[in-house]
Amino acid sequence: MDKKIKNEIVSTVLTFAALLATAVVVAVGGTMLALHTADIVPYIGSIAATAVALFVIYVVFYIYIRYIVGSGEIDSLPFPKLLAIVYFTVSAGVLLSCLSTGFLNSFAMPIACVALTIGILIKIRIGLMSTIITALGSLTVICSAIYVSGGEAVLPEVIFGCLSSTVSGFAMIFLIRRRYSRFKLTWGALIVALIMAPFSALLSLIYTTDASEIVQNAVYSAIGDLISIAIMTASLPMYERICNVWTDFRLEELISLNQPLLKRMSEEAPGTLSHSMALANLAESCAIAIGLNPFMARACAYYHDVGKLKNPQFFVENQTDGYNPHDDLIPEVSANMITRHTKAGAEMLKEMHMPEEIVKAALEHHGTSAVGFFYMKAKYISGDRAKGVDEKEYRYEGPIPSTRYSAVIMLCDICEAMFRAKPPEDFEAMQEAVDKVVAAKIADGQFDNCKLTMRELNTIKQTICSIVPFTMHKRIDYAKAKERR
C-alpha cells in the first residue's frame, strides 16, 4: 500500500476516534448541564444514544469540511488546526446551550457565538454550517435529557428557543460580509440582538398564549445574543494568538501605515513603499476577482519587498540623487545584490512572526525568474564570450510560487513596474503586454507549484487591464492652463 494512502487512513481513523471521544464528552457534560445534576447513572442509556447521534452529526460535518477544503476554498489553515478550532467551538457551543437551558431559558442559547467565531476565524460557509451543527447537537443532547427525565412539556420551548438562536446566528454572520471593524461588528451584532427579541416573541406564540412567558422568552433571547457577542469578543483574540489565526481584523491592523516596519520603509526606502502601495491596489482587486482574501493580498503586497531595506540604494525606485551604485559593479555582483532581497525579506518577516502567506510572498514573488537587465549586460560586456554567460547565475533562488497569493503578487509586481516605466499607448497595447507577461511566466514554469487555474489567470489579466488605466491617468497641467488665460 502506498505510504501516502496509509498515512491518510491512519489520520482519518485517529480523527474519527477523536470525534467519538468528543461526542461522548459533550453527551455526558451536556446531559449534566441540561438537567443540572451530577448523577448520570440513571441516564447512561440515553447518554450512549446521544453520543452515537452526536458522532454521526460530527462525521457528516467532517465530510462537508473535507469537501470545502478539497475544493480549494480554504488554504490558509492546516487541516488539523482547522478541525480543532471548528470542533472545539461547536462542542463548546453545544455545552453552553445545555447550560443556558438548564439554568436560564432555552431562548438564551448562545448559538450565535459559534456562527460569529467560526465565520470570522475561518470562512462564512463553515460558520453557517457550524451554526446548524451546533443547533442539531444542542437539540439532540437537550431533548434526549429532558425526555428521559419526564419533562416532555418543555420540549416545544427547547425546539423554538433553539430555532430562534439559530436564526440569530444566521443574521449575525451576514454582518461579517460587510467587513466591519471589531467595533462596528460588535455594534451591528447588538442591533441584531435587539431586533431578534420580537421574533422570539412571535415564535413563542406558536406553542403558548401566556403573555408573561412570551415576554420572558423575548428577554432571554436578547440576553442569549448578548452573551454570544460577549463570548465572541472575549474568545476571538485568544483564538488569534493561541492558534495563530490571522483574521481580517489582525490583517487590517497589519496593513496600517503606523506599523513599525512600514514606517521604516517610508523613511529608508520610500520608493519601495510607494511601489508596494500601488501594487497593493492591483493585488487586492485581483484577489477579490478570484475569491482570495483582499486583506491578505494587500498585506502580501505591502511587505513583499521588505528585504530591500538591507540595501535600499541598490534599487532604482530609491535612487534620487542620480547616482546608481550598479555603475561601479560587475553584472554578477549587481544581480546578487538584487536577488538577495527575497530571502532577506522572508527572514525578516519570519522573525516578526508574520503570516505564512506573507513570508512566502516575499520569498516567492520572483520565483526563479532571471534578472534580465544584468544578464543582458553581462552578455554585452563578454562580447565574443557571451555564450559562456550562464543564465542560472542571474536567476532568483526561488522557490517558485506555492500559493495563489504569491502568484498574484508576482504578476501584479511585474505589471506595475512595467507600466510605471513605460505607460501603454492604448488599451490594446496594455492587453498585449499583460498577455506576454503571463505567457512568459507559464512557459518558464513559474506557476507549476500553485493552485492557480487558467480561468483565474485570465481573470487576473482582465482585472489588471481594468485597473491600470486608472492608476496611469493624466492630470491637468494647471500652470499651462493659467498661461493660456
Q: Which residue has the higher pLDDT, 214 or 185?
A: 214
Instruction: Give me the number of domains the chain comprises.
Output: 2
Q: Specify the 3-state DSSP secondary structure of 254.
A: helix
CA–CA separation, 291 vs 453, rounded Å? 12
CA–CA separation, 409 vs 39, rounded Å? 60
**CA-based torsion, 305, 306, 307, 308: positive or negative:** positive
Residue 17 sits in the same domain as residue 98: yes
Per mean pLDDT, which range of 196-210, 384-398, 418-432 is the poorest? 384-398
Which range of residues forms the domain containing residue 363? 249-478
CA–CA separation, 340 vs 337, rounded Å? 6
**Model pTM score:** 0.82
Q: What is the pLDDT of residue 12?
A: 87
Burial class (CB in 10 A: 0-12, 13-18, 19+), 235: middle
Residue 232 sits in the same domain as residue 293: no
pLDDT digits (tens, 9 = 90+) for 93-117: 999 999 998 888 889 999 999 998 9
Q: Is residue 484 part of a domain?
A: no
CA-nearest of 246, 239, 263 to 357 is 246
Residue 216 sits in the same domain as residue 280: no
Q: Is residue 378 part of a domain?
A: yes
Residue 84 sits in the same domain as residue 230: yes
Q: Which of 211, 244, 277 is the C-terminal boundary of a domain?
A: 244
Q: How confident is the model at residue 283 (pLDDT cuts 50, 70, 90)?
A: very high
Per mean pLDDT, which range of 16-30, 200-214, 243-257, 467-481 is the poorest? 467-481
Q: What is the largest CA-CA distance in the chain?
A: 99
What phi-psi label fits residue 383: left (phi over 0), alpha (psi between -120 and 50 degrees) or beta? left
pLDDT digits (tens, 9 = 90+) for 117-174: 998 888 888 999 999 999 999 999 998 888 887 766 678 888 999 999 999 988 888 7
Q: What is the pLDDT of residue 186?
A: 78
Q: Is residue 483 part of a domain?
A: no
* 185 grid coordinates: 461588528
In the predicted structure, residue 469 carries a pLDDT above the cut 90: no
Q: What is the pLDDT of residue 455?
A: 92
Residue 82 sits in the same domain as residue 141: yes
In the predicted model, what is the mean pLDDT of residues 169-180? 75
The rounded percent of the chain whose pLDDT value lies above 90 is: 44
Q: Is residue 485 part of a domain?
A: no
Residue 189 sits in the same domain as residue 63: yes
In the predicted structure, residue 71 carries a pLDDT above the cut 70: no
Q: Which of 71-80, 321-330, 342-351 has the highest mean pLDDT?
A: 342-351
Q: What is the pLDDT of residue 463?
A: 94
Q: What are phi and psi of 370, to 5 degrees?
A: -90, 145
Q: Which residues contact 348 (CB under 8 A, 6 or more apart)?
A: 261, 306, 307, 309, 362
Instruction: Kindly report the CATH number assigned to the domain that includes residue 359.
Output: 1.10.3210
CA–CA separation, 27 vs 141, rounded Å? 6
In the predicted structure, residue 72 carries a pLDDT above the cut 70: no
In the predicted model, what is the mean pLDDT of residues 251-262? 91
Q: Is residue 47 part of a domain?
A: yes
β-partners of residue 395 are: 370
In the predicted structure, residue 180 carries a pLDDT above the cut 70: no
Residue 253 sits in the same domain as residue 209: no
Residue 274 sits in the same domain as residue 232: no
Residue 261 sits in the same domain as residue 207: no
CA–CA separation, 168 vs 229, rounded Å? 11
Q: Which of 244, 273, 290 is the C-terminal boundary of a domain?
A: 244
Average pLDDT over the chain, rounded to an integer = 87
Q: Is residue 106 part of a domain?
A: yes
Q: What is the pLDDT of residue 277?
A: 93
Q: What is the pLDDT of residue 387?
A: 67
pLDDT digits (tens, 9 = 90+) for 394-447: 889 889 999 999 999 999 999 998 888 888 888 888 899 999 999 999 998 999
Q: What is the pLDDT of residue 447?
A: 92
Residue 299 sits in the same domain as residue 444: yes
In the predicted structure, residue 309 carries a pLDDT above the cut 70: yes
In the predicted structure, residue 484 carries a pLDDT above the cut 60: no
Q: Is residue 175 part of a domain?
A: yes
Q: Is residue 351 part of a domain?
A: yes
In the predicted model, what is the mean pLDDT of residues 10-27? 92
In the predicted structure, residue 191 carries a pLDDT above the cut 90: no
Q: Which of 191, 217, 244 is the C-terminal boundary of a domain?
A: 244
Task: Give the CA count within 13 Å in the CB-facing half-sphere of 335.
Answer: 22
